Amino acid sequence: MMKLQQSDQLNKTNLDQINKDLNDFLRISKQFQCHIEQFKNAVEYFKEFNQKIEPFRNKLLNLYHENEENHCVKLFENYIQKLKDDSIQIQRFCEVEKYQKQVQDEIEKHKQLETEQNKKIIEIQEKLTKKQCDYLKSLTKEIKLENLTRSLKKQRQYLIEKNNQFEKYQKNQINESLKLQYEISILKLGLGINLEKEQYLKNQMFPNLTFSTDYKHDKMNIDENGKHAEMSGDDSGYCICEQMIPKIGKIRFAFEILRIDGWCEVGIGFREMIKQNEYEGEGQGYGSYLLQDSSDTYFHDSNNTQGKEFEFDLNDIIIIEVSVEEKYIKWSKQNSQENLLTQIDTSQDLYPCVYLCDSKVRIKNIS
C-alpha cells in the first residue's frame, strides 16, 4: 500500500514538472514568434533604408557642392556607418537571401536548360532510331540481294559445268562413232564383201560436224546450231570445228561460201597452236593449211604440192579430203575438176577450220 502511494506521489511530481516545462516552452515560442515578426519588419526597413541612403547622400553632396569634408555630410556618414555596424546580422541575412534568390534563379535556369536538352536528346534519339531502322531495312535488302546473286552464280556455274560435260560427252560419242564406222568398214572388207577399202574410205563424211563456240576468235559469230560461222567488219580470225580429224582412214567434209566481202580461207589446223596465237595469223609456223578464195595458199609446212591452186566465190562448195595416215590434204570444188593437194605435218591433232575476214561460211553435208 505504501508503495502504491509512493508511486502516485511520483507520478504527480512528474506531471507537475511536465506542465511547468510545457508552459516555459509555449512562452518561449510566443516570444520567438514575436521576434521573428520583428526581424522580418527590421529586414524590410533595412532594405528600404538601403534604397534611400544613396539618393539622400547625393542630395547632401549636391547641397554642399560635393564637399565630403563638410560637417553635415560627415555626421550623416558617421550615422549611416553606425547603423550598418549595428545591423551587420541583418546585412548578412539580406546577402544570404540575395544569394539564395540568385541560386534559385540559377537552379530554375538549369532545370529549364535540362528540360530543353532532354527534349533535344529525345528528338535526336527518335531520328537516330528512324535512321537505324531504315539502315537495317536497307542492309537486309542488300544481304538478300547478295545471297540471291551468290545462289544464281552457283546455279550458273553448275549449268556451265553440266554443259561442258555434255559437250565432252558429245565429242567422245562422235569420235567413237568415227572409230566404229572405220572398224565396221574393215570388218566388211575382212568378210569379203565386194567393196574395195580405198573406195569405201574415200566416201566417208564427217558426221555432225559443227563449229566450236569455245575455240574461236572473240569476234567470230556462230549460229544455226554450230553450222554457220561469220566474221563481220575489218576483224579477222579463226573458228575451229569441235571434231578432231581421225588418225585412221580418209575423211571428207565441205564448206559452202555464203558471203565474201573481205576474204575467206578454208582448211585444217593444229587447235592448240592456233589457240596460242590467239586465233590470228596464217602461213609458215602458224599451224594451219589454208586455201584462200583468191587462190592464195598459206601452209604451216609443206614440201610437196600437187595440182593447182584455184579460186572460189559466193555459193561455191569446197570439199576437203584429209588422210592423217598418208599425210595429205586435198581441196576440190564441187562440179569442177580443179583440185590442190599438199603434204601435211601430223605431229599434232588436226581439226577442220576456217579463217575469215568479213565473210560467212556454212558446214555443208554432201554424199
What gap in Å lies between CA 160 and CA 153, rounded to an integer? 10
What pLDDT was estimated at residue 90?
Answer: 62
Residue 100's Cβ-count burial label (10 Å; 0-12, 13-18, 19+) is: exposed
Model pLDDT for residues 265-304, shown as the tens digit of each residue: 999 999 999 999 999 999 998 999 999 999 999 999 876 8
Predicted TM-score of the model (pTM) = 0.48
The pairs formed by 111-120 with CB atoms below 8 angstroms and a separation of 24 or more are none
Q: Which one, of 219, 314, 318, lies nearest residue 259 by Cα?
A: 314
What pLDDT was estimated at residue 132?
Answer: 65
β pairing state of 228-241 and 221-223: antiparallel
Out of 53-67, 298-312, 322-336, 343-357, least confident range: 53-67
- β-partners of residue 321 are 252, 330
What gap in Å lies between CA 38 and CA 282, rounded to an integer? 127
Model pLDDT for residues 136-169, shown as the tens digit of each residue: 667 667 766 777 777 777 777 877 777 777 677 6
Model pLDDT for residues 84-118, shown as the tens digit of each residue: 665 666 666 666 666 666 667 777 877 787 788 77
What gap in Å lies between CA 314 and CA 327, rounded to an integer? 30
Helix axes 2-63, 88-190, angle to 10 degrees: 90
More reliable by pLDDT, 81 or 306: 306
DSSP string across 272-328: HHHHHTTT---STTSSEEEEETTS-EEESS-S-EEE------TT-EEEEEEETTTTE
Mean pLDDT of the chain, nearest integer: 78
Q: Which domains does the chain have, with CATH numbers?
A: 206-364 (2.60.120.920)
What pLDDT was estimated at residue 298?
Answer: 93
